[in-house]
Amino acid sequence: MNCFEKGYGQINLFAQKDGKQGLYKNQIGAIGSAMAHFSVRSEPALITMPTGTGKTAVMIVLAYALQGKKVLVITPSQLVREQIVENFRNPKVLVDKKIIPGGSKLPKVFELTKIIDDSIEWKRILKENDVVVAIPGTLNKISDLRATIGYDTFDVVFVDEAHHSRASSWLNILEAFSFGKQILLTATPFRRDKKDIQARLIYNYPLKNAFEDGLFSKINFVPATAPLSATAEEKNIAIALKAQEVYSARLHQEHRIIIRTDRKKDADDLEQIYINHTQLKLVVIHSKLGSSTIRSRISQLTSGEIDGVICVDMMGEGYDFPALKIAAVHIPHKSLAITLQFVGRISRTNTAEGSIATVIAGEHEFKIDSHQLYKEDTKDWSVILPDLHKMKIQKTEDEQGFFDSFTDVSDEAATVNISYEEPLALEDDDFKPFFHAKIYRIIPAPVPERDNEGNELPPVDIRRNIDFSGTDVFKNPIIRHHHVSSIHDVAVHVVAEPRTPSWYGKDDSLKDVNHEFFVTYFDQDNSLLFIGATSKETELYEHIALQYLRAGALHDMVPLPFLKRVMAGWQEPRFYNLGLRSRKNKGNSESYKQLLGSQAELSVLPSDKFSYTRGHSFGGAFDTVLKKTVMLGVSTSSKVWTLGDNKIKYFVEWCAGIARKVGDPEMDNLDSPLSDLDTGKIIDEFPDVAIFFADWDHAQYGRNTSVVFLDQDDQPVEEALLCSCDIAIMSKTPSKVTLEISKNNIAARLEFTLLPKATFNYGEDTEHLVVVSRGVALGTPEGFLSIINENPINFFFEDLSKLVGRVYFPFKSENFKIINDEQIIANNWPADIDVRKEYYSDSEKTANNNSSSPMRSIHDYIIDLAKDEYDVVFYDHGSLEIADVIGMKKDKVQFWHCKKQSGEQPNCSIEDMYEVCGQAIKSVNWANRKLLLKQMIERADRNQSNSKLRKGTLTDAKTILENFNNPVIPVAITIVQPGLKTSGLTAPQQAAFDRIKVLLSGAETFLKDVSNCELLVMSS
């Protein structure tokens, strides 16, 4: 039995001498916390106590309290090592106060001063000693440290100044001796490199308490003034003179001064300045001096032979000399941690007249972690520093409390079957997600679920086990890590998937393992679900969100009119990336305009509000609601992001701040940047205006999504590109729009409703379902719906207002005016034109040609007209057409969009105008010389050029288009509708004609705004 075990029964934490408590109350608290911690836990323990409040005594008493057999103490420097050795060998104060026993029950201490690689020598040392004290530099040079000394040799390991413990030199030692109880002690459990100390904070003695309990003295800051134009040397002289003045007026003759700088060369220069300008007797101390020299100079200091020392970051940590009561700082510390340690050295009260310490530095020189420590009204640092210290420590405590709330719900069998793989041991506080999230608005069920006591349950069950299969992202996902905090409504997943490398042809044991990270947070107060993921696939977000919902609950994206609230109350905003979405359909290259720069908002023109609505935006400002400077991006796809990453706790806090603003309608009353750009308004009913056409969202046109129509037996009957499928409006009520998606007369019927959320579903009477085709694999009908719910079909109304999901955009244009009557050409149709026949099919052509009086279709007529005027005539009728007929000559391009007359006589049917007017509007996409030529070439090759080109060649077309100076070309877009007439109108026809003129006027305005295109109409 060694000394600590023998003396265990004789320790007395509450011993008193002369009526005074033997240990400070913080020392008793730290010792008790460590004993409590190791009674139930084995992880390293962290004790934080300000410098000078008795950490060494805590280590000595804990060695007895934990009954250490062999104790290792790691210290940061040689100077501190020597003091620790002396304190363990001769703990006179603790023995005198009867806190620990003396005599034979005191430890034998070995000071490691050199490298010892001999394991036999170590056995002898450990046999003869109870405590080993060492610095990392010596320990790390021992070859095979773990084997040479023995991994289980030390059952108690103390780390003094533990903020160093994340440095590799310290980590190596802690890992080598992980068998023992590790107690890390520091005044500052935070590092300049932002790395965490890997230990559980078990006790924190605030700096403020140390001042209140009388362990720290008042700290006065005395500025040394110098002209603003002063050189560095002149500033140093000013500090030296002020130091001489303060030292001469010191409260007690035993008080000494410490002069601080950060480089050895500067220390030598300062020594000369003090010799030349003061009477102070000083010596220099730094780490490059020999140990005997350092000891000699320290002896001079303690004996009073000299007035003080000039040090280079040497005596700030661990060195104990209470008579140091004055500090002259020539180069201030930049971090709070080191400043607190340094100040702790001069603010101890266990010396004569120790009630006041003094810091001398250049005026306004002390700025630490963005806090200015010198202010005219606050020169007492004992007021300022405790609050800074508390903020830092509170951060550590808050993090620990947050991560303690997580429980492990991982499947124990979730391992990747690869022979060389090691088990995962992940800590939640090591994850640092990028701050990017998809947000869903959660709509509670009409009849919510309740628990056994009848309490209503939230619409999201954050503890759900999520199945990550079922999408294209994962084929064989394995959940490696699944932790949940029910208190904070947070779930964390690490999902792995073994994949055969693309360059390997056999599916066997050769696998790459890909890991993805997911963090999900539900903000109950605002009913918003945030999903952060390293894999940002739309289908996966939907798949995850759906599984968290309780029965009857729904999820929906947050529309931009709500999402823009995150920027409400911004002061002096600066935007670096802005997206402007064309109010028009999928226009030319300006369908989505992106502005970049340090002040991109200045590039938004006043006229842009007529042509664009707001898209994504990324910028920064001071947020008057959150009371801090923020950097934030938002997108119309319900995503938010900022630059940077951090721990899960801060990701959740970031999400909560966003939720607070998104969920507060009062944000709509605050000033918000980019307010001139319309974000639309949320509607609950369809407008009382007819829908005249619908089109795929612009995002669909860039994806080349292929879809397959399935019959009622789930058999494929038609395949096509999604954007080539026709959309027809069948009916509209205030609450529902019924539409059909079709290709070659194969149609699927859908219903679109706005409440409780904007949703596309299949109609009950649909004869076909639609799935996404991915090569030989087919998706599900629900998967197709998720695609069009994510990027909804755009509905255009007669007044050219637009609806996307539940967001309604009124039509705006500064160019709107009613179309001129001259633009509606009353055509005298020849007798051989069948105005009820748009074109002839192949079989109809044969029959028509063999008849006694063959007729021409509308297409035939327009082609003949075009041949008379144009050098190139391109017939493009068909799926994904540019127009039915295209005519080209120098400086002019014309598109014709044709629609047959639906009755025996022209009757001004507005329904007849809807489709052809929609085609005319959509064709503006091709009013671009490069896009138009590319599409003509592709369609000519696909359909055989001789059937497309009715006059001229593709080379002629290329020459004509290249002669336009501007890439966006003005096109004469002509609507051909024999069913429209301009004269001889009945009263109902006149009313319909007036509606048609408004419709055509909106279309013309649209075409001019987008590409300066001209609209013409051929009627009867």
pLDDT at 635 (0 to 100): 92
User: Domain holding 859: CATH number?
Assistant: 3.40.91
434 forms bridges with which residues in the sheet? 645
pLDDT at 343 (0 to 100): 67
Q: How far apart are CA 128 and CA 112, in angstroms?
A: 14
Q: How far apart are CA 652 and CA 398, in angstroms?
A: 13
790 is a domain residue: yes
**What is the four-CA torsion angle of 442, 445, 446, 447, rounded to 10 degrees?**
-150
Q: Do residues 706 and 721 lie in contact, with contact meaning Cβ atoms separated by under 8 Å? A: yes
- pLDDT tens for 47-106 read 988 877 889 999 999 999 999 999 999 998 887 888 899 999 999 999 999 999 999 899
111 is a domain residue: yes
The pLDDT confidence band at residue 257, using thresholds 50, 70 and 90, is very high
pLDDT at 412 (0 to 100): 53
pLDDT at 376 (0 to 100): 42
Residue type, 934: K
Over residues 496-516, the mean pLDDT reads: 80
Indicate whether 183 and 237 sit together in one domain. no
- The percentage of the chain sitting over the pLDDT mark of 70, rounded to a whole number, equals 88
The pLDDT confidence band at residue 931, using thresholds 50, 70 and 90, is confident
Describe the strand order of the beta sheet including 356-362 as a list of residue ranges.
218-224, 356-362, 324-329, 256-261, 308-312, 282-285
- pLDDT tens for 792-805 read 999 988 877 889 99
- pLDDT tens for 354-393 read 678 888 888 766 554 444 444 444 455 555 565 565 666 6
Indicate whether 938 and 908 sit together in one domain. yes
Average pLDDT, the chain: 85
1013 is a domain residue: yes
**End-of-domain residue from the set 555, 574, 608:** 555
Answer whether residue 591 shows pLDDT above 70.
no
HEC-encoded secondary structure of 606-622:
CCHHHHEEEEEEEEEEE
Q: Is 701 helix (H, G, I), strand (E, B) or coil?
A: helix
Query: Closest Cα partner for 565 from 671, 438, 637, 653?
Result: 671
Residue 259 main-chain phi, psi, to 5 deg: -110, 130
pLDDT at 475 (0 to 100): 83
- pLDDT tens for 834-850 read 888 888 887 888 888 88
- pLDDT tens for 658-675 read 999 999 999 999 988 988
User: Domain holding 244: CATH number?
Assistant: 3.40.50.300
Over residues 107-112, the mean pLDDT reads: 95
410 is a domain residue: no
Indicate whether 392 and 440 sit together in one domain. no
685 is a domain residue: no
789 is a domain residue: yes
Residue 422 main-chain phi, psi, to 5 deg: -95, 150
Q: Classify residue 750 by burial, with Cβ atoms within 10 Å: 0-12, 13-18, 19+.
A: buried
Q: How far apart are CA 404 and CA 872, in angstroms?
A: 75
The pLDDT confidence band at residue 338, using thresholds 50, 70 and 90, is low
Indicate whether 184 and 244 sit together in one domain. no
Indicate whether 585 and 538 sit together in one domain. no
Answer whether residue 649 shows pLDDT above 90.
yes
pLDDT at 416 (0 to 100): 52
| Tally of domains in the chain | 6
Q: How far apart are CA 559 and CA 554, in angstroms?
A: 15
pLDDT at 587 (0 to 100): 41
Residue 33's Cβ-side half-sphere holds a number of Cα atoms within 13 Å equal to 23
Q: Which domain holds residue 864?
A: 821-1019
pLDDT at 345 (0 to 100): 66
**End-of-domain residue from the set 809, 841, 863:** 809
Indicate whether 11 and 93 sit together in one domain. yes
Q: Which of 133-147, 604-618, 707-721, 967-981 is the least confident region?
A: 604-618
Q: Is 967 helix (H, G, I), strand (E, B) or coil?
A: coil
Greater model confidence, 942 or 958: 958
Answer whether residue 1017 shows pLDDT above 50.
yes
Greater model confidence, 610 or 23: 23
Indicate whether 201 and 233 sit together in one domain. no
DSSP string, 112-158: --S----HHHHHHHHHH-SEEEE-HHHHTTSTTHHHHH-TTS-SEEE
pLDDT at 616 (0 to 100): 87
Greater model confidence, 235 or 946: 235
Q: How far apart are CA 791 and CA 696, in angstroms?
A: 8
Cα angle 66, 69, 70 (rounded to 5 degrees) comes to 110
Over residues 275-279, the mean pLDDT reads: 95
Indicate whether 550 and 578 sit together in one domain. no
The pLDDT confidence band at residue 590, using thresholds 50, 70 and 90, is low
612 is a domain residue: yes
- pLDDT tens for 878-914 read 877 899 999 999 999 999 999 998 878 888 888 888 8
Greater model confidence, 517 or 721: 517
Indicate whether 1015 and 956 sit together in one domain. yes
461 is a domain residue: yes
Residue 513 main-chain phi, psi, to 5 deg: -110, 120
pLDDT at 194 (0 to 100): 43
DSSP string, 57-81: HHHHHHHHHTT-SSEEEE-SSHHHH
Over residues 394-400, the mean pLDDT reads: 73
- DSSP-derived secondary structure letter, 273: H
The single residue listed with the structure tokens 């000369």 is 272
Q: Which helix (H) or strand (E) holds 631?
A: strand 628-635
| Residue 972 CB partners (closer than 8 Å, separation 6+) | 892, 893, 894, 895, 1013, 1014, 1016
pLDDT at 192 (0 to 100): 43
Structure tokens at 514: 């890909």
Cα angle 850, 855, 856 (rounded to 5 degrees) comes to 120
- The percentage of the chain sitting over the pLDDT mark of 90, rounded to a whole number, equals 44
Helices 232-248 and 264-277, axial angle in degrees (round to 10): 60
Answer whether residue 951 shows pLDDT above 80.
yes
Q: 399-412 b/e with 16+ CB inside 10 Å = b?
A: bbebbeebeebbee
pLDDT at 120 (0 to 100): 94
Indicate whether 188 and 281 sit together in one domain. no
- DSSP-derived secondary structure letter, 838: S
Q: How far apart are CA 949 and CA 935, in angstroms?
A: 13
Over residues 779-792, the mean pLDDT reads: 90
Over residues 178-191, the mean pLDDT reads: 81
Over residues 973-994, the mean pLDDT reads: 88
Residue type, 85: V
Q: Which of 313-317, 320-324, 434-438, 854-858 is the least confident region?
A: 313-317
Answer whether residue 465 shows pLDDT above 90.
yes
- pLDDT tens for 404-463 read 788 888 765 455 554 444 556 788 888 999 999 999 999 999 999 998 988 999 999 999
Greater model confidence, 945 or 220: 220
- pLDDT tens for 711-766 read 999 999 999 888 888 899 999 999 999 999 999 889 999 999 999 999 999 999 99
Structure tokens at 397: 């405590």
Indicate whether 379 and 245 sit together in one domain. yes
pLDDT at 619 (0 to 100): 94
Q: Which helix (H) or strand (E) holds 40?
A: helix 25-40
**End-of-domain residue from the set 501, 529, 555:** 555
pLDDT at 997 (0 to 100): 85
Indicate whether 373 and 449 sit together in one domain. no
The pLDDT confidence band at residue 944, using thresholds 50, 70 and 90, is low
Cα 244 to chain centroid, rounded: 53
C-alpha distances (whole Å) from 154 to each of 45, 106, 200, 413, 715 are: 16, 18, 20, 35, 72
Residue type, 188: T
741 forms bridges with which residues in the sheet? 727, 748
Q: Which helix (H) or strand (E) holds 490?
A: strand 490-499
pLDDT at 599 (0 to 100): 82
